């Protein structure tokens, strides 16, 4: 079980970078109301805080299931 959790967690930084797209980390952080250093840490493998994940899901219309687990579609249906 722990191995599957670790494998899934390792994909989170890739999905965060995918959501950010062509935007710089600084611009992305500004749009989310967080520090650029946080975005950098999260894309480098530090587990994001719940508040960040919720803000990201709401601001970017991202599915939490997709973000955390890689399941379903990236964007939530409206």
Query: In the chain, helix, strand, coil percent, each to 5?
Result: 65, 5, 30
**Least confident segment among 24-28, 43-47, 67-71, 73-77:** 73-77
**What is the pLDDT at residue 2?**
78
Average pLDDT, the chain: 94
Dihedral angle sign, alpha carbons of residues 73, 58, 39, 22: positive
**What is the pLDDT at residue 78?**
64
CB 16 within 8 A of CB 47: no
The pTM of this model reads 0.89
CB 16 within 8 A of CB 42: yes
CB 70 within 8 A of CB 8: yes
In percent, how much of the chain has pLDDT > 70?
97
Q: Give the Cα separation of 12 and 69 in Å (integer).
A: 8
Give the residue-averaged pLDDT of 46-55: 95
**What is the pLDDT at residue 3?**
86
């Amino acid at each position: 079980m722990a191995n599957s959790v670790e494998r899934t967690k390792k994909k989170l930084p890739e999905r965060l970078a995918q959501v950010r797209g062509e935007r710089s980390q600084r611009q992305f952080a500004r749009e989310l109301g967080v520090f650029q250093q946080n975005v950098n840490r999260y894309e480098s493998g530090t587990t994001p805080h719940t508040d960040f994940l919720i803000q990201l899901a709401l601001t970017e219309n991202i599915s939490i299931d997709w973000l955390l687990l890689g399941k379903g579609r990236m964007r939530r249906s409206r």
